[in-house]
Structure 1
Amino acid sequence: MTGSDRRADMVRQIRQSGVPLSGTKLASMYHVSRQVIVQDIALIRAAGYDIISTNRGYILNTVKSASRVYKVQHTDDQIEDELCMIVDFGGIVKKVMVNHRVYGQIEAEMNIDSRRKVSEFMEDIRNGKSSPLKNITSNYHYHTVSADREETLDLIEDMLRKKGYLVETEQ
């Protein structure tokens, strides 16, 4: 078994285990030293896996989340209301994107997850530090929103619809 095969199998074992797996147990499973396991865990983390070390062993942090893209339209005066409503219902506004007829897709990271971040964003807009992307596409834009589960995204979608911000698209 190669090192990369071992690491892939370690991720699988840690993910499927109902309990933390100790370095000693992993070392005996793969017939390597604990030091090799420590190095493998570092490489697995570098590959993007959120492996957590506990006093009883290693676990894989699997944060469950869902995301959805909403097409919306509103005025500048309604930006704060839209963003606050999303974060109040438990959403995180990850990105904003517009589809420009000449330039194509233009997107920007937002990562707004609280009213404080909404206030900071609005302050930048009011001070002229930046201008909303939606202004170049007649107020039409898309938000990528993430939340802890699909039901939260359903609530957000319902509120966007009730407020008249959601642009319904035919499927």
Structure 2
Amino acid sequence: METTMTGVQRRKKILEMLGQSSTPLSGGALGRAVGVSRQVVVQDIALLRTEGHPVLATARGYVLEVPHQTERLFKMCHTTEQTREELNTIVDLGGEVLDVMVNHRIYGKVSAPLNIRSRRDVEAFVENIRTGRSTPLLNVTSGYHFHHVAADQEEILDEIEAALREKGFLADFLSYEQEEVEK
């Protein structure tokens, strides 16, 4: 005789699976593992988030957010075609691109979470841009944009900064910008 998990047991199992996985888990895969539909998993994830669990949705599935030791804001400037190289430079050196942000003179600060941790995430992002009807935020500000980048050590962020500068992707902050975009 098969026993059915309660919602509490199911959510506990989902958290356990996410905590043990080194890769994102799709809603469908989580649903199959706990015997419910993907839609029920989506609801469970929402409940887990309201309880304060750091579950992130990525293009490849759900992950538990792993807190990093440190993060830094970088101001970037490049073309859409250079996006892959910029992102790969960051992840190859051990960084995670947390978000993208532009400071538009009319619309103000516009940002979106990215949570790009690997070359696979970079390829998924670039492919979504290529096949979608949208363009990267950097296009509304002539290539200028900001990224919060997280890493386990300041030294990693220093290496990332040096590599981005060497490739010509870093732009200098204007006197008011760093404080303005951090708000």
TM bracket (short chain): 0.5 to 0.7
Q: Once superposed, what is the RMSD of the aligned Cα atoms?
A: 2.1
Distance 1:118 1:138 in 2: 21
Q: Give me the TM-score of the superposition, normalised by structure 1.
A: 0.62
Segment drifting more, 73-82 vs 127-136:
127-136
1:134 alignment partner in structure 2:
138
Superposed structure 1 runs of 4+ greater than 6 Å apart: none
Q: CA 1:157–1:102 in 2, change beyond 3 Å: closer, same or farther?
A: same
Q: How many residue pairs were aligned?
A: 115
1:68 alignment partner in structure 2:
72
Q: Per the alignment, in what secondary structure is the counterpart of residue 145 of structure 1?
A: strand
Aligned partner (choices 89, 99, 106) of residue 85 of structure 1? 89
Matches within 5 A, 1:45-56: none
Distance 1:165 1:136 in 2: 17
Distance 1:105 1:146 in 2: 20
Which amino acid counterpart does residue 126 of structure 2 have in structure 1? Answer: M
Q: Give me the TM-score of the superposition, normalised by structure 2.
A: 0.58
Distance 1:114 1:49 in 2: 23
Aligned partner (choices 160, 165, 178) of residue 161 of structure 1? 165
Deviations 1:118-156 (A, max 9, x none): 000010111134310000001000000000011000000
Distance 2:151 2:77 in 1: 21
Aligned partner (choices 144, 147, 154) of residue 148 of structure 2? 144
Deviations 1:31-84 (A, max 9, x none): xxxxxxxxxxxxxxx87599xxxxxxxxxxx95510000000001111000000
Distance 1:133 1:96 in 2: 8
Segment drifting more, 76-85 vs 126-135:
126-135
Percent pairwise identity: 50
Unpaired runs of at least 5, structure 1 = 1-45, 51-61
Distance 1:114 1:162 in 2: 21
Distance 1:95 1:151 in 2: 20
The answer to whether 1:114 aligns with 2:118 is yes
Deviations 1:85-134 (A, max 9, x none): 10000000000000000010000000000000100001011113431000
Unpaired runs of at least 5, structure 2 = 1-49, 55-65, 176-183
Distance 1:128 1:48 in 2: 32
Q: Per the alignment, in what secondary structure is the counterpart of residue 159 of structure 2?
A: helix
Choose 1 or 2 for highest CA Rg: 1
